[in-house]
Amino acid sequence: MTDSAIELDQVSLGWRDRIAVRDVTGVFRRGSLTALVGPNGAGKSTLIKGIMGQLSPVRGTIRFAHDIVNQIACLPQVGELDKTFPVTVYDLVALGAWRRTGWWRRFGRSEHARVQHALETVGLADFGRRIIGTLSGGQLQRALFARLMMHDAQVLILDEPFAAVDRDTTDDLMRLLQQWHSEGRTVVAVLHDLDLVREQFPQAVLLGGQVVAWGDTATVLTSENLHLARHLCAGDYL
């Protein structure tokens, strides 16, 4: 039990009569680096919404290690971020301190140092004063990673963090994921690039409306499993 960060027991998620993903049972271990893969419509984003508590399970339970409950941060796939809103990159990143600062608490020197450090880490050290509307897609994604860093969370969940991002940015941000992994944080990322998953992620979960396979990446991403997942979704794209 102490080894697991998040446990799912027979979890089914969906909306009323339409179940997107059923009977998910499995464990995200503490400090694991897991890729969540599967065809379109396999229920990846739904599962993440369930873990984040934005969607209650229709059946089953999701349990968190008790010291982790308030230690989960998420980078959603399609955020509701208004890119035209005139705030600086610094302010966007500083928003990540919300749980510590809330509505009124002072944004002190230590928070300022955190923002600077996060900006440097994602390669945006000189971009703090820029308005977010002037950033490219890749730069904005870097800024959102910096905001995620501000949480200083033990569990990080990312939904397609590298969609619509150039190669250099993917490399840099992947290095950041590896760094979080080496710091002992639990990382779960939804990905489409199977080569990247094989190269970088020790663990993988393959979904197809249900769990097709869960475990070491090499044993999960076999051609039979991938074929099965595709078949289960009746999708034609992986």
Partner 1 sequence: MNALTELLFSPFVEFAFMRKALAGSVSVAFAAGPLGVFLILRRISLMGDAMAHAILPGVAVGFLVAGLSLWVMALGGVITGLLVAFLAGLVSRFTPLREDASFAAFHLVSLGLGVLLVSLRGSNMDLIHVLFGSVLGLDDAALLLVTATATVTLLSLALIFRALVAECLDPGFLRAEQGSGSLSYLVFLFLLVLTLVAGFQVLGTLMVVGIMMLPAAAARFWVRSVGQQMVFAGLSGALASYAGLLVSFYANVPASAAIILSAGLFYFLSLGLGPQGGLLQVVRQARARRAHMAAIPD
Point out which residues bind partner 1 (CB under 8 A).
52, 54, 74, 76, 79-82, 85-88, 91-92, 95, 98-99, 101-104, 131
CB of 143 to partner 1, least distance (A): 12
Q: Which is nearer to partner 1, 24 or 148 (CB)?
A: 148
Q: Are 92 and 130 in contact (CB under 8 A)?
A: no
> Across the beta sheet with 4-15, what order do the strands follow?
18-29, 4-15, 59-64
For 70-98, give the secondary structure using H, E and C: CCEEEECCCCCCCCCCCCEHHHHHHHHHH
User: In 10 A of CB 43, how many CB atoms?
Assistant: 26
**Residue whose C-alpha is closest to residue 147's, from 212, 91, 213:** 91
Amino acid, single-letter form, for residue 105 = R
Q: Which is nearer to partner 1, 103 or 237 (CB)?
A: 103
Q: Which residues pair with 190 in a beta bridge?
A: 36, 159
> Using CA atoms, how far apart are residues 42 and 210, in angstroms rounded to an integer?
7
Amino acid, single-letter form, for residue 106 = R
Tokens of 6: 């998040």
CB of 238 to partner 1, least distance (A): 27
Q: Which is nearer to partner 1, 86 or 184 (CB)?
A: 86
> Using CA atoms, how far apart are residues 124 and 116, in angstroms rounded to an integer?
9
Q: Dihedral through CA 102, CA 108, CA 110, CA 116, nearest 10?
A: 90
**Residue whose C-alpha is closest to residue 5's, from 174, 144, 181, 177:** 181
Q: Dihedral through CA 134, CA 140, CA 144, CA 145, nearest 10?
A: -130
